[in-house]
Chain A
């Protein structure tokens, strides 16, 4: 097996792809909540991605991503037997699980891919774990069967914004309903778009339940060197890569985080528009 070789690939829906990649150095010590930084090839940028799982015996890690940006489109071009240029990790602090009894993990959209290993990891650690999976519509639903198998059918709630599948509700509404129905959580974990995480953490605060948010940010090295991922936590500057990626949801300055997520917006739009329509992104210069 070659370093960073794709060993398995499955399409979850039109955009979402699940890959297993041989990266034994990463897999050996990987824990739920940690991330990697990858490069598709010599010309690619370095992007961080939370691992969707790992197998330290096989030496593989799992990545689930939506092929919607230039780099993720290029990732989707890599087939089984082909290799990534670089995968480095595990980075960031693992999810804190000690002492927890009952947790509700709330995933939004592609965030469910990252919430999945986290929820499974919690369950494996003996935590009574519930999962609220939220999607825009039926076509985007992923990992429902996998989650139900791991957590139990009665521990997984799928909701869609338009009601085309599962219950018609936003994740925040579903979470609040569960709390009102008497479910006891001693922590709520939010993984998804910042705006969703912000509202999930507000619901948690409303019921005096501690919340944790898994943040994503621009970063280069993932070891604290560039400072690109800095965010305001409780008024202090923190680096997502070394201090996170998970933070106390009640302390996150969400407006600051959302503003900073637009840092390279224009260039990303340009890059996306300049993916070749014939090849789907294979480079001209390789």
Chain B
């Protein structure tokens, strides 16, 4: 039976003026009835464009068919064949640009809500079969080291442990999960879900070593020469936060989105029992228009700011954040000042932020990125009174691994150089995710981790 309604079943959510004061998950998830009803919207078209839109090629129509039948565990098994972290991807993937963007429904209405269904299936499995013991996988004796316990590393570890490799994941922070725990806020991705996925990998036999900075505590070469690792995957993520190099960026009250989000998400500054210090602003400007900027702005609101303003130099059409995040942020009362660019941050006599000075912008001809280039309107400067500024304008690549690994080569962007199969110029060393591409998405990093896992398997099988 096919459900011919053109629009998606709406996602149940906490009301905006309730949720912008708490850190509980915004979207509460489909019920079984809603999931089945949504699954019945899938036309089961023969071309399966959605699958080609998925970086890990989940067999989307197959799992949706099982949801429509009400066989949720079978749906979970189908997803698990290709994705090791469905509860996470169902929540944070930009589905509208990937699987859902290719859905034939898009021509006349809304796509099937694939992401919501994926999340439903993963949550249903966790609620009903989450405590079923996972058996350790028999080892094939080959040791593989994974550097970085973020999405790329976890995906790579998941695939390799299933194939029987002896996998050890090294993580620099005190918790595993990478950006999933330090970057993405609790209200978008509960940390309990990340912990559950990591626990599953651990039960299968993956070893995790936290507090281990590769490149300082030991090098990639030492792992291979002294510790007996036959292959290494580098998934260390994006690196150093960029600043604008405008006057006033070192005032008290200016920080990177990375710092602000890490204090809140990894170090739980929103909970009183944690010692983590955090700046409490009343009027906060967030500079940038990506998902990280949306996360920072929505956290700022929840931390008690009365006015949070996103400042972005292009227009709504170019805003890189997911449509859903922008929509949620607007609902929660975040102010969008588009086509504005900061030129200076002003401080008071004690060095605290007092205001941010912006200049209005207009869009000119398309630039190298294909987006219309923002041009300053001369003399249009104005000040917004704020007591805190969060910079969220991207990151530069961290060179620690490149600097400390013998003859490892960089790519043109300064990331770790790889071929299409995630292989670096050094034999046995593979890399993927933001460490290679610069800041991208969770699912792309996972996709890269999986490609690397396949390449490592091929390399070690020789």
Contacts and interface: CB of A to CB of B under 8 A. Distances in A.
B213 A228 contact: no
A268 interface: yes
A25 B267 contact: no
A35 to B, nearest CB: 11
Contact of B210 (A43, A71, A86): A86
A25 B212 contact: yes
A28 interface: yes
A88 B273 contact: no
B212 A256 contact: no
Could you say which of A85, A225, A267, A285 has the most chain B C-beta atoms within 10 Å of its C-beta?
A: A225
Contact of A268 (B256, B263, B277): B277
B172 A271 contact: no
Given A45-B267, A70-B275, A90-B217, A224 B239 contact: yes
B415 to A, nearest CB: 14
Contacts of A259: 250-252, 351
Main secondary structure of the interface of B (DSSP, over half): loop
Given A220-B267, A223-B213, A271 B259 contact: no
Interface residues of B, number: 38
A221 interface: yes
A228 B252 contact: no
Given A226-B256, A227-B256, A260-B250, A28 B218 contact: yes
Could you say which of A28, A85, A222, A259 has the most chain B C-beta atoms within 10 Å of its C-beta?
A: A259
A224 B398 contact: yes
A263 B250 CA distance: 10
B400 A223 contact: yes
Interface in B79-138: none
A271 B239 CA distance: 31
A224 B400 contact: yes
Interface string B387-417: 0000000000010100000000000000000
A185 B379 CA distance: 54
A285 B213 contact: no
A71 B275 contact: yes
Contacts of B279: 263-264
A2 B143 CA distance: 24
A45 B277 contact: yes
B276 A88 contact: no
B434 to A, nearest CB: 11
A85 B174 contact: yes
A223 B172 contact: yes
A239 B400 CA distance: 13
Given A220-B263, A223-B172, A242-B400, A45 B275 contact: yes
Interface in B187-246: 210-213, 216-218, 239-241, 243, 245
Given A25-B218, A29-B218, A220-B262, A225 B213 contact: no
A214 B448 CA distance: 40
B277 A271 contact: yes
B145 to A, nearest CB: 14
A232 interface: yes
B437 interface: no
A232 B250 contact: yes
B255 interface: yes
Contacts of B398: 223-225, 242
22 contacts: A39-B174, A43-B274, A43-B275, A45-B274, A45-B276, A46-B174, A70-B275, A86-B211, A88-B174, A89-B217, A221-B172, A223-B213, A223-B400, A224-B239, A224-B398, A225-B241, A225-B258, A227-B241, A227-B259, A228-B255, A231-B250, A259-B351
Interface of A: 25-26, 28-29, 39, 43-46, 70-71, 85-91, 220-228, 230-232, 237, 239, 242, 256, 259-260, 262-264, 267-268, 271, 283, 285
Given A43-B275, A226-B241, 10 more contacts: A25-B211, A25-B212, A29-B218, A71-B275, A220-B266, A223-B172, A223-B213, A230-B250, A237-B243, A239-B240
Interface of B: 172-174, 182, 210-213, 216-218, 239-241, 243, 245, 249-252, 255-256, 258-259, 262-263, 266-267, 273-279, 351, 398, 400
